[in-house]
Chain A
Amino acid sequence: MATIAATPAHAHESHAHPTGFMSWMSTVDHKRIGTLYLFTALFFFLLGGLEAEIIRMQLQGPNGTLVSAETYNQLFTMHGTTMIFLAIMPLSAAFFNYLIPLQIGARDVAFPRLNAFSYWVYVLGGIFINLSWLLHAAPDGGWFGYAPLTTRAYSPGMNIDFWVLGLQILGVSSLAAGFNFITTIINMRAPGMNLMRMPMFTWAAFVVQFLIVLAFPVITIALVFLMFDRFFGTNFYTTAAGADPLLWQHLFWIFGHPEVYILILPAFGLVSDVLPAHTRKPIFGYPVMVFSLILIAFLGFGVWAHHMFAVGMGPIADTVFGLTTMLIAIPTGVKIFNWIATMHGGSIRFTTACLFCIALVAFFTIGGLSGVMHASPPADLQQTDTYFIVAHFHYVLFGGSMMGLFAGVYHYFPKITGRLLSERIGKWHFWLTAIGMNLTFFPMHMSGLLGMPRRIYRYDAGQGWDGFNLASSIGAYILAVGTLFLVWNIIKSLRSGTRAGNDPWGSPTLEWAIPSPPPEYNFARIPTVTSRYPLWDMKQPALTSEVPHSHRGDKEMEVAVGGKTVGHPHPGPAAQSTRVSESEMHIETETYTPAQVGIVLPDPTVKPFFVALGMVIMLGSPLFMHEAQIREIAGNAAGHRTAMTMFWIFVLGGAALMVGSLYNWLLTPLESDHH
């Protein structure tokens, strides 16, 4: 099969690109799933933002009266939970889904249906947790849900039930995606795409998947213990039975600190790919950028107790965890300097995407510095549980993760939809966000150092915090306006944005070698990769001539790794042409139907959706069990029976739906054999 010449007759109906509701429900295409993740996560970002705005309205002045203490607890808990698990992680997942296969030159992820499953578990889990609002029983124990406080004895309502069950559901989504992406990156790379040629974002994604598959089981177990305590009366967190009140804190933070890197590394990866495109310079120190990612991930598992300095672990533990925490700032600092060096001497185009990258470098550094401050236990004892900590983690999460993700949105939106976002509206979005962010969170350093505790729903006047709180609230309103510009920009671009073409930014990596939006099959012909920046080799060879692992630089790299051949052997330097031969790297500008190019794609299927639905119903059903217990205590025997019946219907019904759909899925081949 040398040349494919297909007649329209071959392009039968089923391969026309469908766009209806069912096509989204049944899609297994990583790009469409990525798009679903993107818009769902942006929705939850707005929801979490709304919760934050209410919090800031309440705290705008002393003795706020907008919400009650109970509602306030629910607001900050759901704000944190939503932003971390339903907004930032899924926004990162949107980019994992969309970009990993494109960046490594693959047709899809390793397990397309598992990918759809991850998405559906995420949406249904997000809906499940937020259903609690309808019962006025949203989770209220903080995003880290400290037990024993969250055990039945101290949190009798359904609030924590929603949280403990919902987080277990969301964990399944992240884990399934983790196995999928690890396999994809290890095993689906295009010929020549060796590990040291992978785009930085794919590297960051790769490292993050390891953090996910190793950290999430730990919180799963912590949550299982809490669930058993709450529903079956076990004693894991019952101090009266001898339980260790720190067990939860240890398990949670063994997950929790890797989790903060799960939140930030994807943004780091995005910036490391976006910045070179807009500064016209290869990333500075690619290998060091890769190794610092890996080092951060390793060290990230050894610092968890810096969240627990105040519990009295003793001088040795405090010292060790203080030191490891300070140590982790080194690889993090290396990345900051490398980004600065990447910009240095580049011809920077101050696009919105580029501005967000620069903002990450600046704001994340502030958050990193305050982090190093409370890495010292004596300093932390003053700062812990105050607004200083709130300032720290918002600089790293908003100033870091969100800035990076926004950079990714502006840079990749044209790839995803085929249309550019407006730079003019984008600048408004950027400047309002940058100003609003600093106005909101910088004063929190001060109110925190002046002693304002976290998680208070009102405060008395005259403690020196009033002005700082007002400033924070004004900043939050500015942020809200800025975010509206983003929403406007997206709607406007979807309607009438400028067509982007293959490569609007002159970027160097594979995803820009194909049309925007990419055809269903991604690459009509899988490229053979000869360099870290294949598109620059073809279009702008001057940009990469000195870079190891670029087309020309590979020779030098071979020497650098002790004569071991890396990638494809090249002819001697003299014979190296600046253009890569067409058979290796190529640019595709036309979109065909899969049949025209003879590519068989996986069949769409709703089975993953039903497996996810069954699982969520099953895992959510203990809510009825709690209701039954309440009725039993109230002496309502009939009500108790009804609730228990409901419980069994949901557990068994959900399990049947899950197992049935799962068998159906596993016994159906990925692609139909009619070819």
Chain B
Amino acid sequence: MTSVPLTAGHVPDAHDPHATSTGLDNKKIAIWAFIGSECMLFASLISTYLIYKGRSKVGPFPHETWTDPSTGHKFGAILNIPVTSASTFVLLMSSLAMVLALAAVQNKNIPKRTTSERILGSSQLWLLATAALGITFLGFQAYEFTSFVHEGLSIRTNLFGSSFFTLTGFHGAHVTAGVIWLLTLFAIDRKRGLGPRDEVNVDIAALYWHFVDVVWIAIFTLVYLIK
């Protein structure tokens, strides 16, 4: 028999957030570092778009009409601000739904009495709603992309096309990843129920989702609204 004369003292438990130096869960710190990194990613994309604004040799253009000198074909301004305002609103609403989803997970164990409390407290409902709004946004984007291509703007057409599709495409890919993440949480919630101990997992998904939303606000302002 080996006897180890050690006093166990303080053995940090990885699952106990209070064992960490800051008291925050590791995942929370990592997601903030990740978001910082993503800021640089989108900053590079957005700056390139802005640097290339007005440098395209041929149309179509975002805010101005253009007539192709060789064919005489007249192209309208490409960006459809009313439609994109609608999709922006949808994405903003998804952030609201995300807040409610997180709150519902956090308050899982509080008894719900009224119908409205039960609705507000349904994490499944709000996770699904967030994902659905995200999918709606992606639907708008798919519509936007296809209609641009029909109007004669592809990713190859000019600098505007290259930088616009790459920027918004990157954002769309982020939304897609977020939707998959949310649907995964929804599936777990259905299978075994998300409780307060899963809070951090929903929390980081929410941080990511809000970040992607904020990036869209920047894109909407800089690309669509400012002429």
Residues of A within 8 A of B (CB): 1-8, 107, 110-111, 175, 178-180, 182-183, 186-189, 191, 193, 209, 213-218, 220-222, 224-225, 228, 232-236, 240-244, 247, 251, 524-526, 528, 583, 590, 592, 596-599, 663, 670-671
* Interchain residue pairs with CB less than 8 A apart (6): A3-B6, A187-B26, A188-B21, A228-B162, A526-B11, A526-B12
A168 to B162, CA, bound (A): 20
A180 to B31, CA, bound (A): 10
Q: Is the CB of A241 within 8 A of B21?
A: no
Contact with A along B183-226 (1 / 0, CB 8 A): 01000000000000000000000000000000000000000000
Asked if B149 lies at the interface with its beta carbon under 8 angstroms from chain A, I say no
Q: Is the CB of A221 within 8 A of B48?
A: yes
Asked if B3 lies at the interface with its beta carbon under 8 angstroms from chain A, I say yes
Q: Is the CB of B22 within 8 A of A191?
A: no
A235 to B1, CA, bound (A): 73
Residues of B within 8 A of A (CB): 1-12, 14, 20-22, 24, 26, 29-30, 33-34, 36-38, 40-41, 44-45, 48, 51-52, 55-58, 155-156, 158-159, 161-163, 166, 184
Q: Is the CB of A214 within 8 A of B36?
A: yes
Which residue of B is nearest A3, CB measured? B7
A552 to B133, CA, bound (A): 60
Q: Is the CB of B162 within 8 A of A247?
A: no
A224 to B30, CA, bound (A): 24
Contact of B37 among A217, A234, A524 (CB under 8 A): A217
Q: Is the CB of A222 within 8 A of B44?
A: yes
Which residue of A is nearest B167, CB measured? A221
Q: Residues of A contacting B3 with CB < 8 Å?
A: 5-6
A-B pairs with beta carbons under 8 A, tally = 155
Contact of B159 among A4, A189, A242 (CB under 8 A): A242
Q: Is the CB of B45 within 8 A of A221?
A: yes
Which among B3, B11, B38, B158 has the highest number of chain A CB atoms within 10 Å?
B11
Q: Residues of B contacting A525 with CB < 8 Å?
A: 6-11
Q: Smallest distance from the beta carbon of B159 to chain A beta carbons, Å?
A: 5
Q: Residues of A contacting B22 with CB < 8 Å?
A: 186-187
Contact of B166 among A191, A224, A524 (CB under 8 A): A224
Q: Is the CB of B11 within 8 A of A598?
A: yes
Q: Is the CB of A232 within 8 A of B155?
A: yes
Q: Is the CB of B2 within 8 A of A8?
A: yes
Q: Residues of B contacting A583 with CB < 8 Å?
A: 9
Q: Residues of B contacting A528 with CB < 8 Å?
A: 10
Q: Smallest distance from the beta carbon of A593 to chain B beta carbons, Å?
A: 9
A244 to B166, CA, bound (A): 17
A33 to B55, CA, bound (A): 48
With A179-B30, A234-B166 known as contacts, the answer to whether A4 contacts B36 (CB < 8 A) is no
A107 to B19, CA, bound (A): 12
Q: Residues of A contacting B57 with CB < 8 Å?
A: 240-242
Q: Smallest distance from the beta carbon of A52 to chain B beta carbons, Å?
A: 32
Q: Residues of A contacting B45 with CB < 8 Å?
A: 221
Q: Smallest distance from the beta carbon of A205 to chain B beta carbons, Å?
A: 14
Q: Residues of B contacting A236 with CB < 8 Å?
A: 48, 159, 162-163, 166
Q: Is the CB of A235 within 8 A of B29?
A: no
Q: Residues of B contacting A193 with CB < 8 Å?
A: 21
